[in-house]
Amino acid sequence: MSVRPITIVGHRALTQRTRRVREITDDIRALVADMFETNDAADGAGLAAPQVGARWRLFVYSCADAEDVVRRGVVINPRLERFGGIELDEETLEGCLSVPGEGFPTARHRGARVSGIDLSGQEVTVEDTGGVLARALQHEVDHLDGTLYLDRLTPARRREALDAVTARGWRAEGLRTWDPRDVEAADV
């Protein structure tokens, strides 16, 4: 297992749709192990394959649900269902490991359910009705469809977010990834 560099806004991998996993191979298992280690190193709620430069339709998560229970797992070839009303709480900031150090209010459905398979090829369903996990499920599936949470912001907030990312130096020429083990980068 190893920590992989995380792609940042502007990286091509973040704007492309992913490919379905047809077979769970040793390479897929190694990718998932690396993604868990990378997510843990970055203190993330979740991490999608494009965020480590892979085009597979899978993500890992490790965050609290509505009952404040930390849930951890992987979903391969997820299918997302959203339910409950759409909420935009100005006090709840959504962040992203591919937009380091920034967080903005983002409208999301209150609840989400994702169905797919796990590393054993078994059907898995993950559901939450209002915790961080519900937001993370929607956020990670967005990544698999080539969408960043910045794309869901109002135009003014999106401009504010891009300006903040630029001011932090994350959009510098040639910079496309960051290493979550880098203490200075992680302190953003």
Is 123 one of the annotated active-site residues of the chain? no
Count of C-beta atoms within a 10 Å radius of residue 181: 12
63 annotated among ligand-binding-site residues = no
Helix (H, G, I), strand (E, B) or coil at 58: strand
81-114 residues labelled b (16+ CB within 10 A) or e (exposed): eeeeeeeeeeeeebbbbbbbebebbbebbbbbbb
Q: Which of 81, 90, 140, 184 is catalytic?
A: 140
d(CA 43, CA 138): 18
11 annotated among ligand-binding-site residues = no
139 annotated among ligand-binding-site residues = yes
Contacts of 59 by beta carbon, 8 Å cutoff, 6+ apart: 35, 46, 47, 48, 49, 74, 75, 78, 140, 141, 143, 144
Strand partners, 144: none
Could you list the residues known to form a binding site for Fe cation, using ranges: 96, 139, 143
Could you list the residues known to form a binding site, using ranges: 96, 139, 143
List, by residue number, the catalytic residues.
140
